[in-house]
Structure 1
Amino acid sequence: MAAVPVVVPRMKLGSQGLEVAAQGLGCMGMSANYGPPKPEPDMIALIHHAVAAGVTFLDTSDFYGPQTNELLLGKALQQAGVREKVDLATKFGSIWSVADGIGKPGVRGDPAYVRAACEGSLRRLGVDCIDLYYQHRIDTKVPIEVTMGEIKKLVEEGKIKYIGLSEACASTIRRAHAVHPITAVQLEWSLWSRDVEEDIIPTCRELGIGIVAYCPLGGGFFASGAKLMDTVSEQDIRKKLPRFQPENLDKNIKVFEHVNEMAKRKGCTPSQLALAWVHHQGRDVCPIPGTTKIENFNQNVGALSVKLTQDDMAELESYADASNVQGDRHFRMSSTWKNSETPPISSWKYQ
């Protein structure tokens, strides 16, 4: 197994001055989506362990829980000296509404909601400024210029430092960046989710926007393979993901087997190998693997010590070629960047 680096390097994220740890910590699974919420004292201990190890780029959202993950981080940040070490990222825009007893996901990007969401996140996190504030999903009913206009005001008021977008298409990124510089775009990028490479990654690089890769381990697939599904609860969102359905998993397991064999040759774990592949995409890329266990966190940090050649990269990519991966990456592809174009600003009528 690759050794854990003594020092986690830092990197410039985007072109506006933000510097973060070269690997972040996705906190969603501590409170939501990957089964029941985990014990709060254990998660706070994990967050403190991560910060002490140099992984100080923490990622959350008001949608996780909803809101409970931000509250968890807020408690973790109360320990003396922690907030000063942390680059804190949260998100707004994804909502969960309940009508007739049925919960439905949605998206809001109107100015009033943007402001209310930011104020709510500041309270739950117990901070006076958010380091990186993402639009979690794009509201296709509101011109991106309108949403960005309100976020820009929050920057001017000192409530947020830097602006990000998540799951935005290239044209939306360009339009948003024209209103106020975008520091980072968060997107799903891993060995088996590479659709962003054609248009979105080049656009980010052209504009000097940092890239934050979520689900760099394929939702845990590259850590455990098919065995993962033997351990997840019925509440786990992965039960719904197309790639984890039995008819697809039976084929996708071959991808994991190839990666696992290569990992043995490289002297690391399959998860470290898959994570190292993301790290080797460039100095402008920061993966944010999530975990709820300190031992898994330590293993993820160890990926920073795995060195890959161009031949290694090509070999890995051949295993997870699009023709070898079965199923969409999400069960609601309509909520991804493929459906994130907004109306022109000329169509907007201010109330």
Structure 2
Amino acid sequence: MTKALPVRKIGPYTVSAIGLGCMNLSHAYLPRPEPEQAERVLLHALEAGVTFFDTAALYGFGANEELVGRTLMHRRAEFTLASKCVLAEIDGKRGLDGSPAAISRVLEDSLRRLKTDHIDLYYLHRLDVKVPIEESVGALARAVEAGKIGAIGLSEMSAATLRRAHAVHPIAAMQTEYSPWTRNAEVAVLDACAEMDVAFVAFSPLARGFLAGNVGPEGVSKEDLRHAMPRFQPPHLEANLTLVARLGVLANEAGCTAAQLCLAWSLARRDFVVPIPGTTSIAHLDENLATLSLNLPDDLFAAVDAIFTFEAVSGARYTRDAQAQIDTETWVGEPLA
């Protein structure tokens, strides 16, 4: 029997307070699970009460959407489905195209791969500066009118861009990296979301596994997406591991894991924050969801804040090319690749 988890709101949808980011089931991080294991993780999440699944056209160049489509669509009524456009495969490579024609094309491809005629929440994955945000949102507004999507989201965009987009069509969610070690959303976006009644979906709430203790002093393999990110490279890697060690002490004293402490921290920031940790492990999935049964004190979260000040984390979060596609505010003094 499917469990019932605490819930939060995203636009017209009521979703489990912790969702599942599906990316690393078929994209970016290594080791990658076999398809059968990926399917088991998705089905276990649904049985465990997760009702919010997040994928994108980019992930595995469509392979992740195909995975979700073949695994979950026979239980379509039980969950809220989110996917993304703008970043996708173009001529066999990762490409960025926010034009209305490209958005329509990618949406049709996503619907086919997902084996559905309706995506509940559809995001602009990144801001294409060559296309006015009003035109990109307008294309999604027409998709809403056509019944192909239910609500519109943005990803890694600024408060100013959110306001421009919201003036064209109500925005249901802003998705941005957010964890104790990446707190750019606190500069302006969280306040803007509160002002406009926009949910905030926190991706990489465990810092791409780093804050869960999944990365050691050897780092990650060269084929792993994280290898190119400055925070995962020497000398930043060593400096950041000292922060993880301090986080681990706090978690041990509180009787929880570091991953649970980070997820509880994100849930406590605002009542409209929905973290979507990803995992390839059923055990880690259950550990993450068990966070929702914890009752941790505010002073513990204050201790996390004291470790992860804006200046404490070493290194830029993205490479130069990736940072060029990020519209989210930076904080004063933030290192940029």
Shared fold, TM over 0.5: yes
Structure showing greater relative contact order (alpha-carbon pairs closer than 8 Å, 6 or more residues apart) = 1
Residue 334, structure 1, aligned to residue 331, structure 2: no
| Structure 1 residues 152 and 297: alpha-carbon distance in aligned structure 2, compared to 1, 3 A threshold | same
Structure 1 residues 1-351: aligned runs within 5 Å: 7-14=4-11, 17-35=12-30, 37-79=32-74, 82-98=75-91, 105-224=94-213, 226-227=215-216, 229=218, 232-331=220-319, 332-338=322-328
> Given the two structures, how large is their TM-score scaled by the length of structure 2?
0.93
- The one-letter code matched in structure 2 to 1:173 is L
In structure 2, the partner of 1:349 is none
Q: CA deviation at 1:311?
A: 1.6
Residue 141 of structure 1 aligns to which amino acid in structure 2?
K
Q: Distance in 1 between matches of 2:9 and 2:206?
A: 23
The alpha-carbon distance between structure 1 residues 97 and 228, as it changes in their structure 2 partners (threshold 3 A), is farther
* Structure 2 residue matching 1:137: 3-state secondary structure: coil
Q: Are 2:185 and 2:329, in contact at CA under 8 Å, matched by a contact in 1? A: no
- Give yes or no for contact 1:145–1:179 (8 Å, CA) kept in 2: yes
**Tell me, what secondary structure is at the counterpart of 1:45?**
helix
The C-alpha deviation readout for 1:38-89, integer Å capped at 9, x for no partner, is 211111111010001111200000000111000000011244xx21101100
Q: Distance in 1 between matches of 2:311 and 2:294?
A: 27
- Cα deviation for residue 105 of structure 1 reads 3.7
Structure 1 letter corresponding to 2:246:
H
Give, in whole Å, the separation in 2 of the partners of 1:104 and 1:74: 23
Q: Structure 2: how far apart are the matches of 1:281 and 1:228?
A: 30
Gaps of 5+ in 2: 331-337
State which drifts further: 173-182 or 234-243.
234-243
Query: Once the 2 structures are TM-superposed, how far is the Cα of residue 227 of structure 1 from its aligned partner?
Result: 1.7
TM-score, scaled relative to structure 1: 0.89
Aligned equivalents of 2:259 and 2:31: distance in 1?
23
2:73 touches 2:116 (CA, 8 Å); kept in 1?
no
Q: CA RMSD in A?
A: 1.8
Among all aligned residue pairs of Structure 1 and Structure 2, give the percentage whose two residues are the same amino acid.
41
Name the count of aligned residue pairs. 327
CA apart distance, 1:170: 1.1
Native 8 Å contact 1:220 1:228 kept in 2: no
